[in-house]
Each structure stands twice: as structure tokens, then as C-alpha cells.
């Protein structure tokens, strides 16, 4: 949900919603001012028209005619308010007769029938003989219209905000889902699953066209990767066969010369390198997942320690296992054994004379961990990550046995099991730690069953 609210599509929708809402506000202000001005003109025009009509009636009918007209119109529902005053200012007729206002336009307060006062917009016309005619109307009618308009535009504004937010959220959610599927495909490909493709909805929109283009690119990359793997595998197979025959011939000559024995040793190293490369390629392809089953890391570690203990003792080194109850995971037992064997062999070979190596198995927070810890000379921090690269060796002279593929195979096995491997300073020495993510099915009961 937090990602959704940070998405660019939602920000764009929010921007356009805000712009449209501001447009509604601007339109409302313009409409309000225009309506108020038009109503004001109509308001004053009606008053002036009534004032002119009564002035003519005064001229034709005299004072009596105006008094009768004012009294008649003053009692008519919905009519304007009127007033007639004598030259001395005394009230003669009409509701506004008691109002005090100068000639022309003014606003006066008049008492209401049931108490209180109301504001009236009044026009005062002087008549012949000093009489004054007052014609006006309730000024609150304009204010009432203002309130109606403001309320209407406020509701429209809120409606725009609600529809904009709902529409923006729906649009952003749809785009977010499709982008999430693209991102999920990319993450799966990064993790090694080159068979994944971006789903296409068939709407022929921009995202569909992008998905089709990405899928074509992935097909091309997958084809190139398959070609590279096939070429590497073919080279390894093609070279291994004649090398094996050569080894057999040299083996037949063992004892007839020191050169034959040396050549045989070199050939064994070459064949071992090819075997390791083929094994790493097989592991990285994911073909070994079919052999996964419940496996106890503690038992696997005990087997490796038992196998390496005699050679470690002969070399003046120590090797021991530190583990309690079974630590069960889902994995390939053979590959896990090979992984631990490579880590232990690496620690014994490069830890130095008299190195002490510990293999520790534990479970914490559902995650299973196996670590190989030595108290040797350690590895510089800048070189630790490169140890998992193929053919990389700290010893530039490469005088010691090995091709630099042991830890590469470890990395391949770790990746196949969705685990993580890391190297840490053991102060002194080096700790190689492999952490397998916890899963509900990884428990002792599953292993025992």
C-alpha cells in the first residue's frame, strides 16, 4: 500500500485532480461574482422602475393617488417595500415611511413583523411639494443567492475531489499491478529463472507493447545464454574425452618415467576443473531441484567433519562440529555435502599451519544456519566477495593445488537452495556463513517422518 501511494501514476492523478478542483473554484468565484452583479443590476432596475412609475402617478393623480397606490402595493405579497413622507419627514404611508435616508441609494434597517430588523436597499425620490418617495427591497435576497451558489459549488468541489481521488486510486492501482508484474518478472530473471516472461493482457496499450518488447528482448537474451552454455558444455565434453584417453595412456606408462607421473597429475587437475565447471553449470540450470528432500544439516555436517578429521589431524589442524538438535531444511543432500566439504577444505587449506576449524549448525527465528569458522590468517575485506568468482584465487602465483572453483560451486549450491552465503571476520580468521530462509515445512517432524 505504501508503494502504491508513492507511485508516479497516483501522483499524476492527484496533480490533475488538484488542477481540476482549482478550476472548479475559479469557475465558482467567477460565476458568483457575475451572478451577484447581474442580480444587483436587476434588483436596482426593478426598484428604479417602481420609483419612476409612482412618480408619474403622483404627477397625474396627485398625492391621494400616490398614497392609495403605496398602500395597495404595500399589502401585495411579493411586492417591494414602499414609503411616503411629508415635507417635514413625517410618515404618510408604507412600511418605509419611518425610514431616515438621504436622496438616492442607501441601505436602511427596518423592523420585522415578529421582531428584529432587516436590511433594505432603498432608493429615495424627491417629489414636487417637498414630499419624498421611498422604494426598496430586502437586501438579504442577494445574500441568500450567494449562499445557494457557494453551497452548490462547494458540493461540486467535494464531488470533484472524491471522484478524482477514487479515479486516481483506481487508475494507479491498475497501473501498479501491471508494473508489479513486470518488476516480479525482472526479479525472477535476476534470480536465475530465464523462462519467466512479462504477462500481456491483450489490450494493445502502452504497457502491453512494452511487455511484448521486453519479452522479445528476454527471448533473445535467453537464446544467447543457452548458446553460451551449450558451447561451454560442448567444449568441456569434447576436451574431456581426449584428455581421458590421454590419461589412460599415461597411466599405462606410470613407473617408466617421472615425466609420465607428472603429466598424469596435471591431467587429473585439468579433468577436475572440467568436472567442476560441468557440475556448476548443471547446478545453475536448476535441474537438481528434483532431488530436493528433507535433509538434516547437522547429520550432513557430521559426515563431512568425520571425513576430513583424519587428514586435518595429520596436518596438525583441528576440526570439530558444534551442533545440538537436528537442523532440517529442504534440499539436495549430495549438493549440500559438497558445499560443506568445499568450505571445510578451503578453511583447512588456506587457514595456515595448526588452524582450528569449527562447523556450527543452528536455527534462529526459523532460519537454518551452517557456518565454517577458522582462526587462521583471514581474508582482506576487499577480496571476500571476489572469492566466489570462478577461477579467482588470493594467491597470485597459484602455487598451491586447486583451480579456484570450490567457492564458485558453493555459491551455485547456495543460490539453488534460495539461501545466502557471506564471509565475516572471525577475529582472528574467517567465518563462512550460509543462511537458509525459514519455511513452515522445515521441522524435525517432517524429517523424522
- Give per-residue pLDDT as tens, 418-434: 889 888 988 888 999 99
Query: 397: pLDDT confidence band, cut at 50, 70 and 90?
Result: very low
pLDDT of residue 231: 58
Q: Are residues 261 and 309 in the same domain?
A: no
Domain C-terminal end among 144, 174, 190 = 144
Q: Are residues 345 and 258 in the same domain?
A: no
Rounded Cα–Cα distance for residues 15 and 21 (Å): 10
Query: 447: pLDDT confidence band, cut at 50, 70 and 90?
Result: very low
Rounded Cα–Cα distance for residues 251 and 288 (Å): 34
Query: 58: pLDDT confidence band, cut at 50, 70 and 90?
Result: confident
Q: Are residues 305 and 430 in the same domain?
A: yes
Rounded Cα–Cα distance for residues 438 and 418 (Å): 11
Please give the DSSP secondary-structure letter assigned to residue 137: E
Angle between helices 406-416 and 333-350 in degrees, nearest 10? 150
Using one digit for the tens of pLDDT, what is the confidence trace for 178-206?
777 888 888 887 777 777 888 887 777 77
Q: Are residues 323 and 242 in the same domain?
A: no
Q: Are residues 429 and 296 in the same domain?
A: yes
Using one digit for the tens of pLDDT, what is the confidence trace for 255-287?
555 556 666 666 666 666 666 566 666 566 555
Rounded Cα–Cα distance for residues 188 and 175 (Å): 20
Query: 101: pLDDT confidence band, cut at 50, 70 and 90?
Result: confident
Q: Are residues 278 and 322 in the same domain?
A: no
Query: 149: pLDDT confidence band, cut at 50, 70 and 90?
Result: confident
Do 185 and 197 contact (CB within 8 A), yes or no? Answer: yes
Domain C-terminal end among 284, 310, 342 = 284
Within-domain flag for 118: no
Number of domains the chain is built from: 3
Query: 213: pLDDT confidence band, cut at 50, 70 and 90?
Result: confident
The DSSP element (H or E) to which 340 belongs, if any, is helix 333-350
pLDDT of residue 445: 45
Query: 408: pLDDT confidence band, cut at 50, 70 and 90?
Result: confident
Within-domain flag for 370: yes
pLDDT of residue 210: 84
pLDDT mean over 342-366:
87
Query: 358: pLDDT confidence band, cut at 50, 70 and 90?
Result: very high
Within-domain flag for 304: yes
Do 143 and 136 contact (CB within 8 A), yes or no? Answer: no
Within-domain flag for 45: yes
Within-domain flag for 190: no
Rounded Cα–Cα distance for residues 337 and 344 (Å): 11
Within-domain flag for 252: yes
Rounded Cα–Cα distance for residues 293 and 289 (Å): 9
Q: Are residues 257 and 388 in the same domain?
A: no
Q: 3-state DSSP call for residue 421?
A: strand
Report the chain's mean pLDDT, rounded to a whole number: 77
Within-domain flag for 278: yes
Q: Are residues 264 and 305 in the same domain?
A: no
CATH number at residue 375: 3.30.565.10
Residue 49: name the closest of 123, 100, 131, 106 by CA: 123
Residue 266 belongs to what domain range? 206-284
pTM here is 0.44
Quote the cell numbers at residue 437: 530462509
Domain C-terminal end among 284, 306, 333 = 284
Within-domain flag for 258: yes
Rounded Cα–Cα distance for residues 126 and 114 (Å): 31
Q: Are residues 414 and 280 in the same domain?
A: no
Q: Are residues 356 and 385 in the same domain?
A: yes
Amino acid at each position: 500500500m505504501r508503494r502504491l501511494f508513492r507511485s508516479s501514476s497516483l501522483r499524476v492523478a492527484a496533480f490533475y485532480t488538484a488542477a481540476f478542483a482549482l478550476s472548479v473554484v475559479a469557475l465558482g468565484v467567477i460565476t458568483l461574482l457575475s451572478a451577484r452583479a447581474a442580480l444587483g443590476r436587476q434588483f436596482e432596475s426593478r426598484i428604479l422602475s417602481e420609483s419612476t412609475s409612482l412618480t408619474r402617478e403622483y404627477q397625474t393623480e396627485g398625492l391621494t393617488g400616490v398614497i392609495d397606490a403605496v398602500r395597495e402595493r404595500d399589502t401585495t405579497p411579493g411586492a417591494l417595500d414602499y414609503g411616503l413622507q411629508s415635507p417635514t419627514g413625517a410618515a404618510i404611508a408604507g412600511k418605509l415611511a419611518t425610514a431616515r435616508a438621504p436622496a438616492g441609494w442607501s441601505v436602511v434597517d427596518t423592523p420585522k413583523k415578529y421582531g428584529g430588523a432587516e436590511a433594505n436597499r432603498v432608493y429615495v425620490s424627491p417629489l414636487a411639494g417637498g414630499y419624498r418617495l421611498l422604494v426598496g427591497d430586502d437586501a438579504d435576497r442577494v445574500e441568500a443567492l450567494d449562499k445557494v451558489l457557494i453551497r452548490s459549488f462547494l458540493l461540486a468541489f467535494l464531488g470533484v475531489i472524491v471522484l478524482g481521488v477514487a479515479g486516481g486510486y483506481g487508475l494507479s492501482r491498475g497501473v501498479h499491478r501491471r508494473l508489479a508484474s513486470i518488476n516480479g518478472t525482472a526479479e525472477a530473471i535476476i534470480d536465475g529463472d530465464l523462462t519467466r516472461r512479462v504477462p500481456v493482457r491483450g489490450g494493445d496499450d502502452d504497457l502491453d507493447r512494452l511487455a511484448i518488447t521486453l519479452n522479445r528482448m528476454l527471448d533473445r537474451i535467453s537464446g544467447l545464454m543457452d548458446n553460451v552454455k551449450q558451447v561451454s558444455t560442448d567444449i568441456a565434453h569434447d576436451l574431456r574425452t581426449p584428455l581421458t584417453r590421454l590419461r589412460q595412456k599415461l597411466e599405462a606408462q606410470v613407473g617408466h618415467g617421472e615425466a609420465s607421473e607428472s603429466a598424469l597429475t596435471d591431467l587429473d587437475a585439468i579433468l577436475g576443473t572440467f568436472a567442476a565447471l560441468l557440475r556448476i553449470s548443471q547446478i545453475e540450470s536448476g535441474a537438481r531441484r528434483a532431488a530436493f528432500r528433507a535433509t538434516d544439516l547437522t547429520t550432513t555436517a557430521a559426515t563431512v567433519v568425520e571425513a576430513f578429521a583424519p587428514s586435518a589431524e595429520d596436518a596438525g589442524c583441528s576440526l570439530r562440529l558444534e551442533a545440538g538438535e537436528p537442523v532440517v531444511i529442504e534440499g539436495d543432500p549430495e549438493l549440500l555435502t559438497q558445499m560443506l566439504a568445499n568450505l571445510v577444505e578451503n578453511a583447512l587449506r588456506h587457514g595456515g599451519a595448526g588452524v582450528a576449524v569449527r562447523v556450527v549448525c543452528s536455527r534462529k527465528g526459523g532460519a537454518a544456519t551452517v557456518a565454517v569458522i577458522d582462526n587462521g590468517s583471514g581474508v582482506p575485506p576487499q577480496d571476500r566477495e571476489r572469492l566466489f568468482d570462478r577461477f579467482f584465487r588470493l594467491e597470485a602465483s597459484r602455487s598451491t593445488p586447486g583451480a579456484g572453483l570450490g567457492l564458485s560451486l558453493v555459491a551455485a549450491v547456495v543460490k539453488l537452495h534460495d539461501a545466502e552465503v557471506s564471509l565475516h571476520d572471525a577475529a582472528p580468521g574467517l567465518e563462512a556463513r550460509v543462511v537458509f530462509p525459514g519455511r513452515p515445512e522445515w521441522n524435525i517432524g517432517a524429517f523424522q517422518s
